[in-house]
Amino acid sequence: MAPMRSVRVMNPCCRRAMAASRRAHGRKMLRRGTMGRSRAAWRSSGNSMSTRRLRRKIDPRREITVGCWLMGLLLTASRGKSTIGPAMRQRGGWVCLCWTAAAFMLAGAGCGSEAPAPATRPGHVKVASLVPAATDLIIGMGAAEHLVAVSTYDRDREGLPRWPRVGDYQNTDWERLRQLRPQVMIVQIAPERMPAGLQQRCDDLGIRLLNIRIERLEDIFAAMQAIGAAIARPAEAAAAQKRLRQRIEAVRQRVAGRPPVATLIVHDDDAQQVIGPDTFLDDLLSVAGGTNVAAGLKRRYPSIDREMLRTLKPQAVIQLLPEAPSHVLAKARRVWEAMPDLPAVRDGRVFVLTEWYTQQPGFHVADVAEKFADLLHPTAASTRSAP
Please, are residues 2 and 41 in contact by the beta-carbon 8 Å criterion?
no
Of 281, 344, 285, which is closest to residue 310 (Cα–Cα)? Answer: 344
Please, are residues 303 and 275 in contact by the beta-carbon 8 Å criterion?
no
Of 55, 67, 56, 60, which is closest to residue 112 (Cα–Cα)? Answer: 60
Distance separating alpha carbons of residues 253 and 257, to the nearest angstrom: 9
How is domain 127-232 classified at the CATH fold level?
Answer: Rossmann fold (3.40.50)
Cβ-based burial of 282 (10 A; exposed 0-12, middle 13-18, buried ≥19)? buried
For residue 106, CA distances in Å to 13, 19, 28, 270, 383 come to 21, 21, 20, 72, 72
Distance separating alpha carbons of residues 287 and 147, to the nearest angstrom: 32
Please, are residues 365 and 373 in contact by the beta-carbon 8 Å criterion?
no
DSSP 8-state symbol, 150:
E
* Residues of the chain below pLDDT 70: 1-123, 381-387
Please, are residues 184 and 127 in contact by the beta-carbon 8 Å criterion?
yes
Q: Residue 93's pLDDT is what?
A: 52
Please, are residues 292 and 265 in contact by the beta-carbon 8 Å criterion?
yes
**Domain coordinates in residue numbering, the chain:** 12-107, 127-232, 259-381
How is domain 259-381 classified at the CATH fold level?
Answer: Rossmann fold (3.40.50)
**SS3 annotation, 245-291:** HHHHHHHHHHHCCCCCEEEEEECCCCCCEECCCCCHHHHHHHHCCEE
Is-same-fold flag (127-232; 259-381)?
Answer: yes
Q: Which tens digits make up the pLDDT trace of 20-74? A: 666 655 555 545 444 444 444 434 444 444 444 444 444 545 555 556 556 655 5
Distance separating alpha carbons of residues 318 and 267, to the nearest angstrom: 9
Q: Residue 76's pLDDT is what?
A: 55
Checking DSSP bridges between strand 261-266 and strand 290-292, what pairing results, if any?
parallel
Q: Which tens digits make up the pLDDT trace of 17-33? A: 566 666 655 555 545 44
Instruction: Print burial letters for 3-30: b (CB count within 10 Å at least 16), e (below 16).
Output: eeeeeeeebeebeebeeeeeebeeeeeb
Q: Residue 195's pLDDT is what?
A: 87
Checking DSSP bridges between strand 290-292 and strand 208-211, what pairing results, if any?
unpaired
Q: Residue 84's pLDDT is what?
A: 44
If DSSP codes are grouped into helix, strand and coil, which group holds residue 113? coil
Edge-to-edge strand list for the sheet holding 127-129: 147-150, 127-129, 184-187, 208-211
CB neighbours of residue 242 within 10 Å:
11
Q: Residue 286's pLDDT is what?
A: 98
Please, are residues 292 and 318 in contact by the beta-carbon 8 Å criterion?
no
Q: Residue 305's pLDDT is what?
A: 96
Distance separating alpha carbons of residues 207 and 125, to the nearest angstrom: 11
Distance separating alpha carbons of residues 322 and 280, to the nearest angstrom: 17
